[in-house]
């Protein structure tokens, strides 16, 4: 049966390296997989009053429904101040509530972090991983994906990765993620 992987990009920037890497990753899944970019920039900041007192924003309803339908989630994110960009944390929070209706629950996940700097978004990767533990998402452990100096292997004019070695590494991540998904 076809598996549907949701892709979440932790940057809203036009020309985002994260989005380019996410688009490359999307191309690498097997034929019986579909990938779907779920946009997170339009989600109002989470406020529990929306759920407790209403009305629940339409954006929340649509996003929660879309996440619920996924078989797995792939997060591709930069690091902001050694942590997860707020827009991505907000998306996690929105789809984790109301209490008892966490639609991330049980979905296999993978994290690819990146940076033009030397540490490849390690801090963001592991802060995100910590949240996924609580959300009960079995998360790919190996290979770890911290893409450092990302600006050096992306052709921004073409919007693609410019070397085969990086493409091979991205393929190894997707292959391992598919194996994880098949286990669930
Ligand atoms: C950054 N950047 C950054 N880089 C890093 O390696 N560690 C960090 O902690 C931070 N912190 C940070 C905070 C904020 C608010 C911004 C805007 C940026 C730099 C970041 O890695 C760089 O801008 C990436 O290009 C962002 O990813 P996208 O937008 O290209 O996907």
ipTM rounded to 2 decimals: 0.99
Residue 4 in domain: no
92-128 per-position pLDDT tens digit? 999 999 999 999 999 999 999 999 999 999 999 999 9
Residue 2 in domain: no
Ligand 1 midpoint to CA 78 (Å): 6
Q: Rounded to the nearest 5°, which phi and psi values hold at 28?
A: -100, 0
Ligand 1 nearest atom to the CA of residue 119, by list position: 6
CATH number of the domain that 111 lies in?
Answer: 3.40.50.360
Residue 54 in domain: yes
Which residue range forms the structural domain that includes residue 130?
Answer: 9-183
Q: Which pLDDT band holds residue 1 (cuts at 50, 70, 90)?
A: confident
Indicate whether this model's pTM tops 0.95: yes
Residues with CB under 6 A from ligand 1: 11, 13, 16-18, 78-82, 115-117, 119, 121
Instruction: Average the pLDDT over 151-160 and give the result.
Output: 94
Number of domains in the chain: 1
8-30 per-position pLDDT tens digit? 999 999 999 999 999 999 999 99
Ligand 1 nearest atom to the CA of residue 17, by list position: 30
Residue 100 in domain: yes
Residue 3 in domain: no
Ligand 1 midpoint to CA 79 (Å): 5
For atom 27 of ligand 1, the residue with the nearest CA is: 78
pLDDT at residue 39 greater than cutoff 90 = yes
Q: What pLDDT is recorded for position 30? A: 98
Ligand 1 midpoint to CA 29 (Å): 27
Ligand 1 nearest atom to the CA of residue 21, by list position: 31
Percent of the chain's residues with pLDDT above 90: 99
Ligand 1 midpoint to CA 166 (Å): 20
Ligand 1 midpoint to CA 123 (Å): 11
Cα angle for residues 116, 119, 124 (degrees, 5° grid) = 95
């Amino acid at each position: 049966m076809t598996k549907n992987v949701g892709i979440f990009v932790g940057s809203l920037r036009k020309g985002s390296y994260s989005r380019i890497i996410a688009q490359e990753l999307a191309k690498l899944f097997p034929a019986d997989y579909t990938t779907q970019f779920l946009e997170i920039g339009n989600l109002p900041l989470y406020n529990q009053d929306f759920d407790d007192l209403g009305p629940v924003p339409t954006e929340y309803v649509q996003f929660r429904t879309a996440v619920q339908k996924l078989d797995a989630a792939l997060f591709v994110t930069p690091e902001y101040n050694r942590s997860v960009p707020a827009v991505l944390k907000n998306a996690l929070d929105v789809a984790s509530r109301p209490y008892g209706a966490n639609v991330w629950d049980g979905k296999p996940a993978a994290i690819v972090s990146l940076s033009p700097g030397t540490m490849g978004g390690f801090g963001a990767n592991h802060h995100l991983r910590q949240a996924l533990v609580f959300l009960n998402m079995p998360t790919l452990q190996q290979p770890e994906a911290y893409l450092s100096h990302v600006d050096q292997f992306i052709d921004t004019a073409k919007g693609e990765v410019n070397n085969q070695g990086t493409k091979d590494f991205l393929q190894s991540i997707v292959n391992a993620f598919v194996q994880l998904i098949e286990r669930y």
